Structure 1
Amino acid sequence: MDSNSPLLATQGTLTGIGVGPGDPDLITLKALKCLQAADVVAFPRGRSGQPGLAETIIAPHLGQQQLLPLDFPYSFDPDRLTRAWQQAGDRIWQCLVQGRDVVFACEGDLSFYGTFNYLALTLEQRYSTATIRRIPGICSPMAAVSALGLPLTMQSDKLVVLPALYAVDDLDAALAWADVVVLLKVGSVYSQVWQLLHQRHLLAHSWVVVNATQPTQTVYRPLTPYPHLDLPYFSLMVIRSGANPLP
């Protein structure tokens, strides 16, 4: 399409903003300004009719913008996921071609396993003239260690982040060389992880943070008395396995 096309002259911009881990005050000033200036605010629709986390975070900052909840299935089916991304991209494109600026709110940081990555890629593939910007945010490991009052890394610490753990052997391999390991979505494998940490004498240097920075934030430290925990989705474990673990 010609760069002088009337469509491009009036086309809106899609901006992805990382809105942080839960506390509405942790959204950056740049993201806040963009959010409040947008014509349309999009976000993942929550489950069972309840607001999703991103929607909850931005709610105190919204004015009269049009709200655009988008449906993203909790599924590993590639065909189902592709259809959802395409439908979401098409809905946003219809706003952009009307000259309306759209903000997509993503919890945490956009680049850190963020939903926005898939949406932006789909939009770029289907509509090559789309203009897309990104504004970073605070991701969950940073929020978790702040709640713990600990640094995430120091000096030459080697860091590993495992977004989902399907085999405890993966953690065992990471612990063999990393000084700090962060496990996201640890709830489904917590008991197996606890046993491994017990064998490696690391329970006193491992911590779990649930719903970091949110009103329901809960911290488990040390993990020695907690061989079994029923943890929700937004649960994160930090393990310091280096030669000189923090107290």
Structure 2
Amino acid sequence: MKIGTLYGISVGTGDLELITVKGLRILQQVKIVAFPSGINNQQGIAEKIIQHWLHSEQTQLGLEFPYIQDEKLLQKAWNIASEKVWNYLKIGQDVAFACEGDISFYSTFNYLAQTINEHYPEVKIEMIPGVCSPLAAASALGIPLTIRQQKLVVLPALYTIDDLKTILEWAEVVVLMKVSSVYQQVWSILESLNLLESSFIVERATFPNQVIYHNLKNYSQLNLSYFSVLIIKVR
């Protein structure tokens, strides 16, 4: 029997229309649609985004991807998720995995795809690109992310705070992903380098409850959500 294809579908950052025509076509034509499960029995973000586009005949498959650092527990979760998806793939069913933002950009899908590829290399995996949060944030601000020869650096803030000063010495535009947990440290660094006035935060980009902060000089204390992007225009 033919093995099904695993599709990674980028569904954008919040606005349900930020999905490509190709992504929407595949999302609606497959019978099995998977996505990361939400926390505490709540709908996950990708799940919320795609509900408008799904039809009643499709099977919705929530997969658990815990927010932890323990590699053994993470690997166990990825293995369980891959087995659930494989149960459909092995009988010839295509599966579309919907992921917030872009499928290749700090995406949960990559862990699933890697695990599937390790255990079942015969599975065809296709990734459909889309809108990632730095691009959505720049659009929300109404500014170009980069122009001409500007050097851009994108960093996961939590893991790179110690390197930030060094990077700000040579980069011209810096994007910090998920900055909420280290915001106070970042703010202090930006203050010391006189970069607060050319720094911006977009919280929940393209969602109905999106919030934008211009000129961080007046925002030394912010209670930011997990989905907050900080853009620094260094020069």
- Under a length normalisation based on structure 1, what TM-score does the superposition of the two structures give? 0.93
1-structure distance, mates of 2:11, 2:127: 12
Aligned partner of 1:127 in structure 2 is 120
2-structure distance, mates of 1:145, 1:160: 14
Pick one of 7, 15, 18 that aligns with 2:7.
15
Equivalence map 1:135-154=2 (5 Å)? 135-154=128-147
CA contact (8 A) 1:14 1:102 kept: yes
CA contact (8 A) 2:134 2:175 kept: yes
CA contact (8 A) 1:19 1:106 kept: yes
| Structure 1 residues 116 and 156, CA gap change in structure 2 (3 angstroms) | same
- Matched AA of 1:51: Q
Residue 42 in structure 1 maps to residue 25 in structure 2:
no
Aligned partner of 1:54 in structure 2 is 46
1-structure distance, mates of 2:157, 2:46: 20
2-structure distance, mates of 1:133, 1:182: 28
**CA offset at residue 49 of structure 1?**
1.0
Pick one of 210, 225, 233 that aligns with 2:218.
225
CA contact (8 A) 1:165 1:171 kept: no
Residue 85 in structure 1 maps to residue 78 in structure 2:
yes
**CA offset at residue 168 of structure 1?**
3.5
CA contact (8 A) 2:184 2:221 kept: yes
RMSD: 1.0
Q: Percent identity?
A: 52
**Aligned partner of residue 220 in structure 1, secondary structure:** strand
Gaps of 5+ in 1: 1-6, 243-247
Q: Give the length in aligned residue pairs.
A: 234
**CA offset at residue 143 of structure 1?**
0.1
**CA offset at residue 132 of structure 1?**
1.0
CA contact (8 A) 1:14 1:104 kept: yes
**Aligned partner of residue 61 in structure 1, secondary structure:** coil
**CA offset at residue 164 of structure 1?**
2.8
Pick one of 106, 109, 124 that aligns with 1:113.
106
Aligned partner of 1:4 in structure 2 is none
Residue 28 in structure 1 maps to residue 20 in structure 2:
yes
**CA offset at residue 14 of structure 1?**
0.8
Residue 160 in structure 1 maps to residue 179 in structure 2:
no
Task: Tell which structure's C-alpha radius of gyration is larger.
Answer: 1
1-structure distance, mates of 2:28, 2:224: 34
Aligned partner of 1:71 in structure 2 is 64
CA contact (8 A) 2:157 2:182 kept: no
| Structure 1 residues 167 and 143, CA gap change in structure 2 (3 angstroms) | closer
CA contact (8 A) 1:209 1:236 kept: yes
Aligned partner of 2:203 in structure 1 is 210
**Aligned partner of residue 43 in structure 2, secondary structure:** coil
**Aligned partner of residue 23 in structure 2, secondary structure:** helix
- Matched AA of 2:177: L
2-structure distance, mates of 1:217, 1:158: 27
